[in-house]
Structure 1
Amino acid sequence: MTVENTAEATEVGETTEVTDTTEVPAPVEDAQIERALEAILMVADEPMSVVTLATAVGAPVKRVRAALAAIVADFDGEGGGVRRGFELREVGGGWRIYVREEFDHVVADYVLQQNPTKLSQAALETLAVIAYKQPISRGAIASIRAVNVDSVVRTLLGRGLITELFTDSETGAINYGTTDLLLSQLGINSIDELPKISPLLADGADGFEGDVR
C-alpha cells in the first residue's frame, strides 16, 4: 500500500510539488483472515497466542478470536460440514492444529512405516531422558543433554514414540512423555519395566538430576 502526501512550496515565484511516499505493509483482507490463520497454524510447531496471530495477519485481536472460533467450528463440521481428521485446540494460552485423538494410532502407524530407519544416537539419548524423567519439558531435556533438542523432539513426535502430555499453566511449556507405541517397540507393558539406570551411571545420578529409576 502506498501513501502519498503532496505539499506545495512556493519559492521565488515558483511552485514545487513535493511527494512523500511511504510503504505500509498491507494487512490480510478480512475475508481471507480465516484461511491465512489456517496456513500459519499448519506450519506452527508450538501453540501460538492470539496476539502473535493477530500481528501476523495484521488484524485486531477481537477479529482473530472470532476467526479462530469459526475455524474450530469448520474443522468440527458444524453447520452441516464435514468433520475433519484434525482439530484446532487452545492449549496453554496458545492455538495449534492437532490430529484428532481417534486417529492418533493411524498416524503413528503410518509415520512408523514411512520412517523405518534407525534412530540417531541423539534421538536415542533424548528418548531415554524422556522415558526416565517424564513428564518433562523441552527446556529440561535440553538442560540435561546440554544441547538444543528441538529437531530431535520433533523427530520423536513424528515417529509417534513420544507425545505431548500437558502444558504447564505457569510457564506455558509443553511436557512430553512416551507412548504405547514405544512400549510395544521395546516389548514391555509398562514404563516401570525399564531397567534401573542408576547402576549404569558413574555416581548414580550423573546427567539425571533428582530421582532415577
Structure 2
Amino acid sequence: MNNKRRIDQTEIAEVSKIDTYKSIIESLLFVTGEPLSIREIGTIIRCNERETLEIVKEMEKDYKNRSRGIKLISSNKMLQLVTKPNNSEYVQRLLKTNVRQSLSQAALETLSIIAYKQPITRVAIDEIRGVKSDRAIYTLLEKSIIKECGRLEVPGRPILYSTTEEFIKYFGLDSMESIPSLEDILNNFGEMSKNLKSE
C-alpha cells in the first residue's frame, strides 16, 4: 500500500514538473514573439533536446483544444506561438490594420538580400549579413513572403530561397520588375549624401 502511494506521488510530481516546463516555454514564446529553437529552449529550461521535444509534444496536444485562441507551430525544430487563423477577423478589428506584423530589422535585411540575389542559400545570406539568418528566414517563410525554390547542385545540396507573390502584395508592388535596381538605390543614396553635405 505504501509503495503504491509513493508511486502515485512520484507520478503527480512528474506531471507537475512537466506542467511547469510547459508554462515556462509558453512564456518564452509569448515574450519573444519570434520563433525559438528547441535547443535554445532546452538550454534555458535546462533539459536536453529529447526531453524538450517530449514537453513540446505535450504542448501541441494541449493547443489542439478548439477552445484555445492560439496554436503552436513547430517546424525544423523551431517553435512559435500564433493566433488561430479563424480568429484573424477579430484580431484585425482590434488592431484596425492588417494582421501582418511589421518585419524586424533582421527580417528586412534578409528579405532585401533574397529579393536582389535570388535564388540564394542561407549560407550565402549569412555571409552577406555577417550573422546567422535562421530566425529571420523562418519568419519570412511563415509569412509566405519567401519560399524554398529548389536546391543548389553542390555537396550537401543546400536549400535555395526566393520571393513569392505575397512579397509583391506585401510591399504594394505591381511586379518584381517594379523593384528599383541596386544601382538606382545607390545613386539616390549618393545624391542624398551630397545634399546633406551641402547643407
TM-score, normalised by the number of residues in structure 2: 0.48
Say which one has the larger Rg: 1
Larger helix fraction of residues = 2
TM-score, normalised by the number of residues in structure 1: 0.46
